[in-house]
Every structure is written in structure tokens, then in C-alpha cells.
Amino acid sequence: MKLIENCKKIKAAGIVLKKMKRLQGLDGWVWSCDVHLAGVKLGGVFDDGNGGCLSVEMSAPDQSKLVGALKGVDYPLGLTFDGEDFVEPATDFGYIEWVLPAIADELESLKKLQRTAKTKTLYQLHDDKDGEHWVIRQVYSAALVAALQQKHGSNLKEVLNETIAAL
């Protein structure tokens, strides 16, 4: 699942978004957070949800550290939007402006999955599309995993609960 792979890369880079606040605005999500790298606060980020630039309160050297950490784990930029491909940003600020909203969205989606995984079992089959998963309204257990393996055989790709809990 691309979401889980990206969240693993965010964690490997040592990036944590704290004090994340988010609400639906008139023209998109209004959100803000503090960005931490390797346990050190680099600065704050704010998006007013009006389609303009991201407000980044972070020094240029700290922006470079953040970009270096993301590139070091090969975090994907996802430079396609509505069928159009974009050129990779030439500046650290441009890179951050493109990637931080994606990271914020992925971490919010991960939180939702983590809440679901506490009371339900989530799994993927090999023939599922990327991002799709199945949910069973039963608490994760070894017996349930064995039943899934018996039912789906080699088509069972992964039971996601343990992976999600580790993030």
C-alpha cells in the first residue's frame, strides 16, 4: 500500500508533524503544524486553504535539511496532478511547498487507519488496486489471520494491522 510505504519513508527520514490542526475551508483544507526533524523543531507551516502558497516559517538551512532527509529516503514527490506532469521544483522551498501537504494528508490518513486497526482487521489481496484494502469487523488475532490465509491462500498479500501499529 503506497500510503504505508510513504509513511515508512517519512518515519525513516525522522520527520514528525506535531500540533497538526486541520479543518475544511471554502476552497480546500486549512491546516497548520510544527515540523520536526530528528527530534528538533525546524519551524511551522500554515495553509489557508485558498489555493495560494504555503506559509513556511523555517530557515533556509533547515529547509535544506528537511529536503535532504526526504530525498535521502527517496520520498516520492508525486509530480502529477489531474493528468499533468510537473517538473521537480528547483528550490528547497518549492520542494517543501509541494511535499508537505502530501505528507500531512498521508499522516492524517494513517491516523484513521490506526484507529480502525484497533477494533477491526485490515488486509490486502494481491489483485486489489493500490490503496484498496478489506476490513473485517473483528479484532485482529492470530486465529483470524489463519482463517484469512485458509480462505484466500496465495492471494492474501498482507494483513495490515501489525504494519500499521508499527508506524
- Give the model confidence (pLDDT) of 36-90 as tens digits: 999 999 999 999 887 778 899 999 999 999 999 999 999 987 666 666 767 778 8
- Mean pLDDT of all residues in 124-137: 90
- Mean pLDDT of all residues in 97-108: 90
Q: Write down the domain spans for the chain.
A: 2-115, 120-166
122, 134 Cβ separation under 8 angstroms: yes
Using left for φ > 0, alpha for ψ between -120 and 50, and beta otherwise, residue 92 falls in alpha
What pLDDT was estimated at residue 50? 79
Using left for φ > 0, alpha for ψ between -120 and 50, and beta otherwise, residue 148 falls in alpha
Task: State pTM to two decimals.
Answer: 0.84
What pLDDT was estimated at residue 81? 63
Three-state SS at 36: strand
- Mean pLDDT of all residues in 146-166: 93
> In percent, how much of the chain has pLDDT > 90?
66
What pLDDT was estimated at residue 82? 64
| Residue 167 grid coordinates | 508506524
| Residue 66 grid coordinates | 528537511
| Residue 60 grid coordinates | 533556509
What pLDDT was estimated at residue 166? 87
What pLDDT was estimated at residue 79? 61
Amino acid at 95: Y
Give residue for cell 484494502.
Answer: 133
What pLDDT was estimated at residue 130? 81
Going by C-alpha positions, the residue among 153, 151, 118, 110 that lies closest to residue 137 is 118
C-alpha to C-alpha distances, 64 to 30, 40, 60, 71, 91, nearest whole angstrom: 25, 14, 6, 10, 9
